[in-house]
Each structure stands twice: as C-alpha cells, then as structure tokens.
Amino acid sequence: MPASTPASAAPAVSVSERASLLVDKLVADAATLRCVVSTGDAGERRVDCGAETAGGLEAGRRLGEICMGGLGTVSITSQSGLDKWPLGVVVHSTNPVIACLGSQYAGWTITDEATGFFALGSGPARALSRVEKLYGELGYADSNARTALVIEGDKAPPSLVATNVAQACGIAPSNLTVLYAPTGSLAGGVQIAARVLEVALHKAHELHFPLTDIVDGYGVAPIAPPVPDFIQAMGRTNDAIIYGGRIQLFVRGSDDAASALAEKLPSRTSSAYGRPFAEIFAAVNGDFYKIDPSLFSPALVTVSNLDTGRSFHAGALAPEIVDASFA
C-alpha cells in the first residue's frame, strides 16, 4: 500500500494536538454535557460520557470528533434517510484516511490480565503509540505531548493500564485523557454511528484500494435508540451502519477502479447480510471473529471519480431490518 507521508517525517498535522483542543473544550463544558471528569491514581484524566452519568447526544457528537483527531466534523441531523428513524449523524472529513484510519478506527487492543480489563482503543493516542502495523502502511506518525484515548465501555481502564498506554505513547500519564461511554448510552450510540465513514475506509483498505487516491468523504447513519442490554445495543449500533448507513467517497484514478470499489464496498456483499446483527451474533455463539468481516460496511455507497466526473452507486438501505432491530 503506498504511503501518503514517509513514516519518519514530521506529520503535516497532529491528530493528538487537534483532538486535545476538543477534549479541553468538552472538559470545560462537562457539567452542561452531563459528563463527569475525574483523575486516576496515575494522574490520567478520565471523562465519563455515559456510564455513571447521563451524557447525551452532544457529548456523543463531540466524542466522535475527538475520535477523528479533530480532522472531521460530526453533525446531528433529522434527515438520516430512514422515515421511522430520522435522527442521525452526518460525518465529513477532508483528510479521511488519517481521520478515520489513523485516529478513529478502534484498532488498539488494550488488556490487563491482573484485572481482566479488555477494550479496543480508538482516537489519536493510537497514532502516538503506533503499536498497530497499520501505521507502517499509512506512513503516518504523530508527535505531541498530550493525547486522548476513546473507549467504548462502561469504565475507564485501571491506572496501571493508563500508565502503560501513556508509556506506549511516549507521554506522561498526566497528559493522557481517557474518554469512555457504553454502547447502550446516548453518547455511545452517537459516536458509533459517526463511524459510518470509517468502516468504509477500513473496507476500502482491506480491498487494497490505494488510500492515496481517496481525497474526501462523507457519511450519514441513523442514531440507534439506547437500550441497556449490551447485546441488543451492539446489534442496534451495528445495524445502524450495516443497513442504514450511506457514504460517498471522492477518489482519483481510473473509472474501472472507482466502479469496482463501489460494487465491493456495500454490506450486502457479505454472506452474513440480511438479518439483524444480534441474530447474526447469536448464530455464531457470540464469536465476533466468525462473522464475515465484509459485513461491517455501509449499506449504500457512492464513489465519485474526480478525474473523470463519473459516479458509481451500489447497495441499498434496508429500513425494514433497521425497524426490526431498533424496535
């Protein structure tokens, strides 16, 4: 995969620096946003956006932008494209590869055997640690004294884990902010819906489409109604994108490549497509890794070629499956 920037070069933009400004604003507005800020034993800052506090849609919207390293915008819309579930998010980035794959993608597996803690970390801290081989392909390395880690979960990592994260990032624990919200919370539902563009970028990468040919992108997805049960919440938030999400990518290159990308991107290309995600998950006895990974992509795709002016469409929204899931 061609690199957009040599890994050894200073980044043209720092996702950690940009996200830190957004984190500081969220912390300053914490009371209004119904978030709770605390300090861990290692000095790390913790921000609860929906576990032991109510949080809300705005907290989730801001969480989504922090996940994207300040390189994307997340807006609340009343035009999701689904009649029964009009509330949704609109996501846009003029640097979608770094925003989505270099920051937002939940690719950092964080574990602690002593406490049994497990989480998938997303956000700009990933670009400082570069523990994932993905960064060698992206050719991107961040450098900043502060950063943020976002976790989809109901608790912050133990301070020992936060210390290990900070060490991997090359910063002091006091310069690390960990933000978290459960899947079934208002904020959690928004930040997951805001991944509609990210899953498209991830699948494009898996399809070996040249990332340097992806210039711009936007996505729209409905916001799943919160539900306390984790399996149901996971099902709804996945269905929001798999059956209710739509994206448009602006690319360069040949029409053949753009057309092939459009045809292969939608979720309907997966053998698992056609049932609510909770049913799919139950059918594999809760083994996430037995699910066809090509399912995790938007329902409706448009790929527009900037070099020729042609656009290619594939996929379709499946409102009946979203209805069955959300209701």
- The pTM (predicted TM-score) of the whole model is 0.95
Quick one: three-class SS letters along 69-113? CCCCEEEEECCCCCCCCCCEEEEEECCHHHHHHHHHCCCEEEEEC
- Look at residue 102 and tell me if it is in a domain: yes
Q: Do 122 and 229 share a domain, yes or no?
A: no
Residues 182 and 152: their CA atoms lie apart, in Å, by 5
Same domain? For 129 and 191 the reply is: no
The rounded distance, in Å, linking the Cα atoms of 240 and 81 is 11
Whether residue 203 has pLDDT greater than 80 = yes
**Number of domains within the chain:** 2
Residue 1 is which amino acid? M
Expressed as residue numbers, the domain containing 322 is 186-326
The answer, yes or no, to whether residue 239 has pLDDT greater than 50, is yes
Same domain for 37 and 140, yes or no, is: yes
Which region holds residue 141: left if phi is over 0, alpha if psi is between -120 and 50, else beta?
beta
**Cβ pair 144, 20 in contact under 8 A:** yes
Share of the chain above pLDDT 90, in %: 94
- Residue carrying structure tokens 């690390």: 176
Based on the fold, state whether residues 283 and 136 are members of the same structural domain: no
Report pLDDT for 249: 98
Q: What pLDDT score was predicted for residue 9?
A: 37
The answer on pLDDT for 27 being more than 80 is yes
- Bridge-based pairing of strands 45-48 and 176-181 is parallel
Single out the residue of 289, 279, 293 nearest to residue 321, CA to CA: 279
Rounded to whole angstroms, the Cα distance separating 129 from 118 reads 18
pLDDT tens for residues 99-158?
Answer: 999 999 999 999 999 889 999 999 999 999 999 999 999 999 999 999 999 999 999 999
**Considering only CA atoms, which of 115, 110, 185, 190 is closest in space to residue 151?**
110
Distance CA 230, CA 17 (A): 33
Q: Mean per-residue pLDDT for 56-66?
A: 98
**Confidence (pLDDT) at 12:** 76
Burial class (CB in 10 A: 0-12, 13-18, 19+), 195: buried
In this prediction, residue 62 carries a pLDDT of 98
Q: Is residue 316 assigned to a domain?
A: yes
> How much of the chain exceeds pLDDT 70, in percent?
97
What rounded mean pLDDT belongs to the chain? 95
Residue 3 binned pLDDT confidence (cut-offs 50, 70, 90): very low
Q: For position 271, which CATH number holds? A: 3.30.1030.10
- Tell me how far apart the alpha carbons of residues 220 and 241 are, in angstroms, rounded to a whole number: 9
Residues 173 and 300 in one domain: no
Picking from 10-14, 91-95, 122-126, 316-320, which range would have the lowest pLDDT averaged per residue?
A: 10-14
pLDDT at 288: 86
- Whether the predicted pLDDT of 6 surpasses 70: no
Same domain, 204 and 256: yes
Give the start-end residues of each E strand in 186-310: 214-222, 246-251, 300-305
Instruction: Return the CATH number at 65.
Output: 3.10.340.11
Which of 147, 181, 215 terminates a domain? The answer is 181
- Whether the pLDDT of residue 1 is over 50: the answer is no
Q: What is the pLDDT of residue 115?
A: 87
**4 has pLDDT over 70:** no
The per-residue pLDDT for 30 is 98
Q: DSSP for 36-70?
A: EEEE-TTS-EEEESSSSS---HHHHHHHHHHHTTT
pLDDT at residue 230 is higher than 90 = yes
* Domain C-terminal end among 155, 181, 207: 181
Domain closes at, from 148, 181, 214: 181
